[in-house]
Amino acid sequence: MPDPVPVLGAALLTGLVVAVGAAPLLRRLPEPSIEELGSERKLSYGQLATPRFVAGVTAISVAATLLSWTVLPTRLQPLWAVLASIGVLLAAVDALTTWLPRRLTYLGWAAMLGAVGAAALLGARSGDLLRAGLGALVAGSLYFGIWAITRRGFGFGDVRFAPLLGAAAGAHSWTLLTAALMLGTVVGAGHGLLRLALRRSDAFPYAPSMLAGTYLAALIVWGSG
Which candidate, 182, 178, 144, places its Cα nearest to that of 161? 144
Phi, psi for residue 42 in degrees, rounded to 5: -145, 160
pLDDT at 19: 98
Q: Which amino acid is at 123?
A: G
Write out pLDDT tens, residues 111-131. 999 999 999 999 999 999 999
Q: In the chain, what are the domain boundaries?
A: 4-224
DSSP state, 162? Answer: H
pLDDT in tens, the chain (225 residues): 678 888 999 999 999 999 999 999 999 999 988 777 766 777 899 999 999 999 999 999 999 999 999 999 999 999 999 999 999 999 999 999 999 999 999 999 999 999 999 999 999 999 999 999 999 999 999 999 989 988 766 789 999 999 999 999 999 999 999 999 999 999 987 876 776 676 776 667 899 999 999 999 999 999 886
pLDDT at 80: 98
CA 180 – CA 201 distance, rounded (Å): 26
Which residues have a Cβ under 8 Å from the Cβ of 102 and sit 6 or more positions away?
157, 160
The answer to whether the CB of 190 falls within 8 A of the CB of 109 is no
How many angstroms separate the CA atoms of 119 and 114, rounded? 9
- pTM, full prediction: 0.94
Distance CA 206, CA 24 (A): 24
pLDDT tens figures, 49-80: 999 999 999 999 999 999 999 999 999 999 99
Residue 201's pLDDT is 63
220's CB contacts (< 8 A; 6+ apart) are 179, 183
The CA-based angle 121-165-59, given to 5 degrees, is 85
CA 134 to chain centre: 17
For CA atoms 47, 96, 61, 115, the dihedral sign is negative
